[in-house]
Amino acid sequence: MARVILVFNKQVIKDYPFIKENMTIGRTDENDIVIDNLAVSGYHARIDRAGDTYILTDLQSTNGTFVNDKKIVSYRLRHKDKITIGKHLLFFALSKSEQAKAREGELDETMVLDTARQKELLAKQAGRKGIDLTGAKQKLGVVSFIDGSDQGEIELSKKLTKIGKAETSEIRLGGLFMATTAATISRRPNGYAITPTGGTKVKVNNQVIRESQILNDFDTIEIGSYKFQFYTQGSGDEK
């Protein structure tokens, strides 16, 4: 079983065996390890167990959490690591059998952290930083026509939006010189990207493009005689 040993002024205050799936460290009484000192935040840090691995996470504390004198955000604890919180030290120790296991696992074994706990952990970190987690998800893109045509605004709800003359296009544009599919807008890991597919000239911010380009909020797109603006929902009305 792993243990956490709390030390202050070179004296062992208490020895905490790791009996649950996680342990919290902080000033308030609800913590598993209570350190009553003003340099310590109410909920300062926590240690989570994922299989045979222990992960220390700073809960965006005011004065920070240090391991072996380096400031950390998240850290995978090893035997004999020294955690510093304020003027208190916490030593992390594994049992003999766990140390042997840890040596076997030194090859950076991949593991999965229980989803519920991981979400809780990230939510807590985000909460301390005042980050709204719902905003971390990719925002829905919208194109807004500014050419006087009656298309109005169209949400880019599909992963791949085809723009062109074809009946199957998500955004249908007419005109003699319009290609069956003139361009596509796809949701990619890096954001929304527009790709010209040939036939009709595609401009982004007045520049003709030939390859895919990532779209930024309020980019102006021109396809043939059509003109519209791209933005992601929620942009512009915050901050």
Partner 1 sequence: MELKAAGITDVGLKRESNEDYFSIDNALGLYIVADGMGGHLAGEVASKVAVEVINKNVNRWIAQQVPDDELFDYPDSTLSKRANYILSGIKLANRVIYELSKVYSEYKGMGTTIVALSIMPSVAIAANVGDSRLYLIRANTIEPLSKEHNMVTEQLEMGLISEEEAEVSPLRHILTRNLGSSDTVDVDVFEIEPRNNDRFLLCTDGLTDLVSDQEIFEIVQNGEDPEHLCRQLIVKANGMGGNDNVTASLVFVHNLEQENQGIVKKFWSRSK
The site map against partner 1 for 52-71 (x = CB under 8 A) is: -x-x----------------
The helix or strand, by DSSP H or E, that contains position 102, with its residue range, turns out to be helix 96-104
Side chain identity at residue 170, one-letter code: E
9 is an interface residue for partner 1 by CB under 8 A: no
Tell me the two tokens of residue 174. 């007419």
The site map against partner 1 for 144-163 (x = CB under 8 A) is: -------------xxxx-x-
Give whichever of 177 and 218 is closer to partner 1, judged by the CB atom.
177
List, in order, residues 6 or more apart from 8 with CB less than 8 Å away.
87, 88, 89
Residues 73-92 contacting partner 1, CB under 8 A: 73-76
190 is an interface residue for partner 1 by CB under 8 A: yes
What is each CA distance from 213 to 60, 110, 140, 186, in whole angstroms?
A: 36, 34, 17, 10
The site map against partner 1 for 25-44 (x = CB under 8 A) is: --------------------
Among 198, 208, 225, 236, contact with partner 1 (rule: CB under 8 A): 198
Could you give the CA distance from residue 30 to residue 217 in angstroms, rounded to a whole number? 44
Give whichever of 35 and 169 is closer to partner 1, judged by the CB atom.
169
Residues 205-234 contacting partner 1, CB under 8 A: 211-212
How many residues touch partner 1 under the rule CB under 8 A: the total is: 52
- Please spell the DSSP secondary structure of 140-190, one letter per residue: PEEEEE-SS-TT-EEE--SSEEEEESSTT-SEE--STT--SS-EEEEEETT
Among 164, 171, 173, 226, contact with partner 1 (rule: CB under 8 A): 164
